[in-house]
Structure 1
Amino acid sequence: MHFERLAIADVLLITPKRFGDARGYFMETFRQNLFTEYAGDHDFVQDNQSFSVERGVVRGLHYQVEPRTQGKLVRCNAGRILDVAVDIRAGSPSFGQHVTAELSEANGRLLWIPPGFAHGFCTLTDNTVVSYKVTDYYSPEHDRGLLWNDPDLAIAWPIGTGEETISEKDRKQPRFADLEACFPVFGDAAHGAPA
């Protein structure tokens, strides 16, 4: 299993090792001891899965505020996605910046997005299945979001405006300029950021 730090070092791209033969392949998609070594000590409490019928489905950008912040370990089980993590930790040197990774059934990669990031993805194929482990339970009263196509974030989505399939809730998310200070201290271990 290979762990790669992206341009925002707290976000990890994980590539499992595949062992294949005439039957197909086997791979470990999660190994607690290695994950802890690279990402720190996080307990996963819930697994989620989404199915998107068409290419161009956008989900996000989502996050939860204190005290119910979530880290997410994201994997694409069928199809392909462009996965996005936006740093919303006030005081972080990468505050307001984002990283992306293509996750697919073919490449088997996972993306670790720690607490303090807004997360979203866009499907690149029809019939896409995405699963992710989270470090806290879904909490409607702590659920927040950012506008997926906010020009201030400058995310290079693989679709044009008007080509997306997106929920009404996500169409009405606030802009980054209106972000509430929900992760106010970068470097505070309670927020999942490095001390």
Structure 2
Amino acid sequence: MRITETALPGVYTVTPDRLRDRRGDFYEAMRAGEFEKALGHPFVPRQINYSVSRRNTLRGVHGVTVPPGQAKYVTCVRGALRDVAVDLRVGSPAFGEHVVNELDAESGRAVYVPEGVGHGFLALTDDTCICYVLSSEHVPGTQVDVNPLDPDLAIPWGFTEHPLMSEKDARAPTLAEAMAAGLLATWRGSPHARRPAAAR
């Protein structure tokens, strides 16, 4: 597998090597030893979620307060999606910036989103299924939502008609509002600290 850090510190893409024969395909979605060597710290799954979406569904931008924090290993297991990670760590050299990756079941490509970084996606096909492997269990009341259509973020979602969104996402605060409310994590620039500090 090829593990590559993106323009956002601590956000990685993982592209597996596929073995193909007349029966179909096989690939390793993640190998802990190689992955943790790239991260510089352990990634221990605590919860696995799936969501299924119609084409042109927009979900996100979502994160979790620190603490408890939550890293995500995201793959598309059916269909295709436009995946976006947004740096929500106050003080990060990439604060407010985003990276966009196309994920689909055919490639098996994955994105690792560390604690403090928001995540969202646009479903490009009907019946798109995404898998989230999470570093912490869900704790009610800790989710951080940022409006995916915030003009200051200027995320290039690429939709041609208004997307299908939840009421919660449509009413989510802008990045500036979330920061003013003290919801965002604080960046620590230590070479070992991909884990951000709790916002004060």
What is the TM-score of this pair, normalised by structure 2?
Answer: 0.91
Matches within 5 A, 1:87-166: 87-160=87-160, 163-166=162-165
Mapped partners of 1:190, 1:43: distance in 2 = 17
Q: What is the aligned partner in structure 1 of residue 195 from structure 2?
A: 192
- What does residue 168 of structure 2 align with? 169
Structure 2 residues not aligned, in runs of 5+: none
Tell me how far 1:184 sits from its aligned partner: 2.0
- Distance in 2 of aligned mates of 1:20 and 1:66: 42
Residue type at the aligned position of 2:86: V
Q: How does 1:3-152 map to 2 (within 5 A)?
A: 3-39=3-39, 40-52=41-53, 54-152=54-152
Unaligned runs of 5+ in 1: none
1:66-123: CA deviation from partner (whole Å, max 9, x where unpaired)? 2121100000001110111110111111001011100001111000000010110000
Distance 1:127 1:170 in 2: 20
Residue by residue over 1:38-57, the C-alpha shift from the partner in whole angstroms, topping out at 9 and shown as x without a partner, is: 123221100000011x2110
* TM-score, structure 1 normalization: 0.93
Contact 1:8–1:99 (Cα < 8 Å) also in 2: yes
| Secondary structure, counterpart of 2:52 in structure 1 | strand
Residue 191 of structure 1: CA displacement?
Answer: 6.2
Aligned 8 A contact 1:183 1:191 in 2: no
Q: Percentage identity across aligned positions?
A: 37
- Contact preservation (8 Å) 1:90, 1:186: no
